[in-house]
């Protein structure tokens, strides 16, 4: 029986752990050939070992914030699997982020991964997609992009850099600009904005008292697991979404409901 992504070639950035790894597993289960593109060798190799029984999968060490590395990932994907059909721009500084650093230099660093890295990866794969007149790009934003007021009350100390949230808003904008440019070549570009998902990164980054109130703030009264997000990525990557482009899907159990 063939899967919904049978023989499609998908690069999934940041698939060394967490949500990206769950996307990789789901895509493999649907018949895709998957490239785990992660800058952390240990995570990438461990994900590869866990997933290699599930189908055609390779690990290509990739730092999405480095132009040559992004191009090299696209090149190695084509050498191994012959083409590129799907890019999931999932990698971000999240587990590895330093939320206490409000410096401009660090803001630039986070942008270089979370936003510009997504653009660099898109730039690396788009010529192949345009040439074959088929492509699916799925960007990963966050409901954190919509949480404008989650700052502690008290005397003013310094201006927050809002590094993570700024970049995740940027990802939404990038989605729409890419969609506008690439639609005529049958390349769709969409975005998933997950709510709080109980990955290792969330357990490390988000304070327990915040995690404990998340269910109260969501319609479904629960937090998410990485597996709760994979159906949305599969939809955007599949033929069911052929004419869906430039869209943002909040998947957070109803904690954010933009118009
Ligand atoms: N977990 C959540 O609650 C949540 C909610 C909303 C959005 N997100 C987003 O979903 C994505 C995955 O989340 P997660 O919880 O699995 O995070 P995570 O930090 O566990 O995973 C991110 C992966 O990206 C990799 N990575 C980081 N920088 C990279 C770079 N420069 N080049 C290549 N790979 C790099 C890391 O090694 C890691 O494997 C991220 O974009 C995150 O911002 C997560």
CATH code for the domain in which residue 195 is found: 3.40.50.720
User: Mutate which of 197, 201, 207, 222 to test ligand 1's pocket (most atoms within 8 Å of Cβ)?
Assistant: 201
Sheet with 248-251, strands from edge to edge, namely: 57-61, 33-38, 9-13, 86-89, 135-140, 187-194, 248-251
Answer yes or no: is 195 within a domain: yes
Q: Which residues contact 230 (CB under 8 A, 6 or more apart)?
A: 22, 23, 25, 26
Task: Specify if 204 maps to a domain.
Answer: yes
pTM (global) more than 0.85: yes
CB 48 within 8 A of CB 55: no
Q: Is 36 left (phi over 0), alpha (psi -120 to 50) or beta?
A: beta
Residue 161: give the domain boundaries.
9-251
Q: Per the domain annotation, does 240 fall within a domain?
A: yes
What total of structural domains would you count in the chain? 1
Does residue 58 lie within any of the structural domains? Answer: yes
Please tell me if the CB atom of residue 40 comes closer than 6 angstroms to any atom of ligand 1.
yes
Q: Let me know if residue 198 belongs to a domain.
A: yes
Each residue's pLDDT, cut to its tens digit, for the chain (259 residues) gives: 799 999 999 999 999 999 999 999 999 999 999 999 999 999 999 999 999 999 999 999 999 999 999 999 999 999 999 999 999 999 999 999 999 999 999 999 999 999 999 999 999 999 999 999 999 999 999 999 999 988 889 999 999 999 999 999 999 999 999 999 999 999 999 999 999 999 999 999 999 998 999 999 999 999 999 999 999 999 999 999 999 999 999 999 999 999 8
Ligand 1 pocket test, candidate residues 35, 46, 91, 124, most atoms within 8 A of CB: 91
Q: 167, 150, 165: which is closest to 214 by C-alpha?
A: 150
User: Which residue CA neighbors atom 12 of ligand 1 most closely?
Assistant: 19
Residue 126 lies inside a defined structural domain of this protein: yes
Q: Is there an atom of ligand 1 within 6 Å of 252 CB?
A: no
CA 156 – ligand 1 centroid, Å: 31
Task: Indicate if ligand 1 lies below 6 Å from the C-beta of 230.
Answer: no
């Amino acid at each position: 029986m063939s899967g919904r992504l049978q023989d499609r070639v998908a690069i999934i950035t940041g698939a060394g752990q967490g949500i990206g790894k769950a996307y990789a597993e789901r895509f493999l289960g649907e018949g895709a050939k998957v490239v785990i593109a992660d800058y952390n060798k240990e995570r990438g190799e461990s994900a590869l070992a866990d997933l290699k029984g599930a189908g055609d999968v390779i690990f290509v060490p990739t730092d999405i914030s480095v132009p040559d590395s992004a191009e090299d990932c696209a090149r190695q994907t084509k050498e191994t699997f012959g083409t590129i059909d799907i890019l999931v721009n999932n990698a971000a500084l999240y587990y590895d982020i330093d939320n206490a650093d409000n410096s401009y230099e660090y803001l630039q660093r986070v942008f270089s991964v979370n936003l510009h890295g997504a653009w660099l990866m898109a730039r690396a794969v788009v010529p192949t997609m345009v040439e074959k007149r088929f492509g699916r790009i799925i960007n990963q934003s966050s409901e954190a992009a919509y949480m404008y007021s989650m700052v502690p009350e008290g005397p003013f100390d310094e201006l927050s850099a809002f590094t993570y949230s700024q970049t995740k808003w940027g990802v939404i904008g990038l989605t729409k600009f890419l969609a506008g440019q690439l639609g005529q070549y049958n390349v769709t570009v969409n975005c998933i904005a997950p709510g709080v998902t109980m990955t290792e990164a969330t357990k490390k980054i988000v304070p327990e008292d915040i995690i404990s109130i998340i269910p109260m703030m969501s319609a479904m009264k629960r937090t998410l697991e990485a597996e709760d997000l994979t159906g949305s990525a599969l939809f955007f990557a599949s033929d069911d979404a052929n004419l869906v482009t430039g869209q943002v899907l909040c998947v957070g159990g109803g904690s954010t409901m933009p118009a």
